Amino acid sequence: MTNAVPGTPYGPASPRLMRETEILERALESYRRPLAVTDRDFVERVAAVLPYLPRPGKIVATRNWVGTGLILGFSIVLVPFGAEYRVFRAFFGAGYSLPMALVSALIITAYCALFVSSHIRELANRIHTRRHGAVVNEREAG
Amino acid sequence: MTGGSGLSDEFLVGDVLDGNPGAFSELVRRHQRALYRLGLSFFRNGDDAADFTQDVFLKAYVNLGSFRGRSKFSTWLFRVAYNTAINSSRRKRRYEPLDDETAGNGLSTEDEHLRKETIAALKCAMGALPERQAVCLDLHFYYGMGYGEIAEVTGFPVNTIKSHVFRAKKELRISLDKEKA
């Protein structure tokens, strides 16, 4: 059975406490009333500028980028230990290693270039922070 | 938050990211009042507050991809706004709770009096805080944010915010008690 008397977790509240709570709530409620001065419309003002801004796109989290990069790196390191690699090497000879290494290097370079280009602002902010010790809108990046 | 269109903020953000910038107008419509009020409290000047509001929305639009949905959209938007205001060179005065004579329309005499007392008590409580922390009280008392949300917006520890709010409530209670006496 629940206690029907309003009060605190320690027991029923005194009338004085209840009155005080009510006044405090009314005071805060009156403070929260919308103000006439804040009644301005920004929809058109903002919409007029949007076409001139770069379109926002979905950003892959840095953690996911690093995770995928690690998997990619490990996969490339493990290639020489694979059965297929040995078959290809037996078929094409030692000359197979060089193009294989070049392709791997190309893949890693392309991945790193993509990462840097998509995180250029974040990286610039980090470098700025290290050099000048100031944080510029770092938290805005979410 | 869901507005007139019935769609949540997070859904609208997804819509914008999928290439429908029109959905951003609905987000502006929903949050413009709160942001403009925040701007007025920071800048105490209608034109600066309007520029600030527009600035925040444009920054939010450009960085929308970095909103990952871990917090509410409004919290994320306020974080952008808080950083914009704190870093703004146009801000020359301290953050203060906003007063407006026309706000009392429709309030009883007693409630109008309570409102004035609340504003005075909050001004006093905010005055005792470091400049960057004063906004925490308004985020709680006016915007109705929880301690965790305020911590996300401002970056201050939850316990610091709790103690500021507690002290402000105490101040308000004392001030209301004095009036009653």
Convert the pLDDT of each residue in B74-101 to its tens digit: 999 999 999 999 888 777 777 877 776 5
Residues of B in contact with A38 (CB under 8 A): 33, 36-37, 40, 98
The alpha carbon of residue B124 is apart from the nearest alpha carbon of chain A, in Å, by: 15
Q: A43, B29: Cβ pair inside 8 Å?
A: yes
The alpha carbon of residue B149 is apart from the nearest alpha carbon of chain A, in Å, by: 14
Residue B51 three-state SS: helix
**C-alpha separations of B115 from A69, B62, B111 in Å:** 57, 38, 6
pLDDT digits over A76-134, tens only? 888 888 888 888 888 887 777 888 889 889 999 999 998 888 777 777 777 776 666 54
Q: Which of A24, A29, A36 sits opposite B102 (nearest CB)?
A: A36
**B9-87 CATH, one of 2.70.98.90, 1.10.1740.10, 3.40.640.10, 3.30.420.10:** 1.10.1740.10
d(CA A23, CA B111): 9
Burial class (CB in 10 A: 0-12, 13-18, 19+), A59: buried
**C-alpha separations of A136 from A115, B42, B95, B135 in Å:** 21, 19, 21, 20
The alpha carbon of residue B49 is apart from the nearest alpha carbon of chain A, in Å, by: 10
Domain B104-180: assigned CATH number: 1.10.10.10
Q: Where are the domains of chain B?
A: 9-87, 104-180
d(CA A46, CA B55): 9
pLDDT digits over B1-56, tens only? 555 567 899 999 988 988 888 899 999 999 999 999 999 888 888 889 999 999 99
Q: Does A52 touch chain B (CB under 8 A)?
A: no
Predicted complex ipTM: 0.77
Instruction: Tell me, yes or no, if the two domains B9-87 and B104-180 fold the same way.
Output: no
Q: Where are the domains of chain A?
A: 62-141
Q: A27, B176: Cβ pair inside 8 Å?
A: yes
Q: Which has more pLDDT, A126 or B141?
A: B141
Contact predicate B137/B168, CB 8 Å: yes
Q: Does A27 touch chain B (CB under 8 A)?
A: yes
Can you give the pLDDT at residue A142? 42
- Mutation site, A17, A22, A28, A125, interface B, largest B CB count within 10 A: A28
